[in-house]
Amino acid sequence: MKKFISMMVFCLFFISAPVTTFSATPVKIGVLPIVDALPFYVAQQHGLFKALPRPVTLVTFRSAVERDAAFQTGKVDAYLGDLISATLLRSRGFPAKVVSIILGKRPSEGLFAILTPPTSPIRNIRDLEGKHIAISSNTIIEYVLDGLLKAHGIPPGTVKKQEIKSIPIRFQMLMTGKIDAAVLPDPLASLARSKGAHWITDDGKYNLSQTVLVWNDAFIHENTGFLKTFYKAYNRAVAIINRDHEAVRGLLVEKCRLPRSIASSFKFADFPSASIPSRASVESVLSWVKGKGLLKRPVTFEDLCYAGDLFPRQP
């Protein structure tokens, strides 16, 4: 009789104990082949995603336009992007929610630079007044340009912005002297400098650019348990990168399209652990987007950023 009761107690305890459920349905994250995506590739390479309740699939896109379209049509659950793209999607009624910052928590992370051609005599940002600067309008590129000009006391309207959306074409026009200046992200900016372009200034002192991970709003509310385990894995990947930059250079070349010619010399900052973007950086973007008349409907910090507690406690 005692054995029977003991067995019943054991069975009741086993049935009532919490069980971690696993699903075969993959969580799809849209990325571009850029340095900012490195923690995701490191997590994949080291098998950190394998311990999660659901498998994670990284979906690589050739352009931000393709990536955003996939998010809008539900083909990915999240995407690696910036605050401006997330704001524009949110204002158009798409359930885009910024959950974490990937790069840009500190000024040294994820640089954008203004450069002039190798043959250009221009060495100072003030000499760009009245000159043509290649950008992609209504994007983080134009936002950074406006911010850098203002930081140096130059009204953005005093330069001539030339629309060149393709970054490779913008790079080629810069290097061949077909444009007075261009705004480029690293590592292309570093590549241009290695080939003789003149580095005029960058946002390293001003922290104008933030890369963020944007999730579908409904996915967040239905999968908070998954996201907590996801960010534990993500932070482990960040720790691996920050512990030894040299160990991940091969992955930067293979997955993030770091040009081989600068693979050994390219310097990049440590990645921050997962956290939400600062209110100041978000509201600066919101003000700029509103000022350009790009919002279909108002967007606030609370609308755009998730306020829940998803991140592991830092020691």
pTM greater than 0.75 = yes
Residue range 25-105+210-304 forms a domain whose CATH class is alpha beta
pLDDT at 69 over 90: yes
| Kind of pairing between the strands at 132-135 and 181-185 | parallel
For range 38-59, the mean pLDDT: 96
End-to-end CA distance of the chain: 50
Closest-CA residue to 283 (of 93, 79, 83): 83
Q: Strand order in 27-31's β-sheet?
A: 56-60, 27-31, 78-82, 211-216, 96-103
pLDDT on residue 189: 96
For range 8-27, the mean pLDDT: 55
pLDDT on residue 3: 45
Cα distance between residue 76 and residue 32, in whole Å: 13
SS3 56: strand
Enumerate the CATH 3.40.190.10 domain ranges in the chain, comma separated.
Answer: 25-105+210-304, 112-202
For range 84-102, the mean pLDDT: 96
129-150 pLDDT, tens digit per residue, is 999 999 999 999 999 999 999 9
Confidence of residue 34 (pLDDT cuts 50, 70, 90): very high
User: Hey, what CATH topology would domain 112-202 get?
Assistant: D-Maltodextrin-Binding Protein; domain 2 (3.40.190)
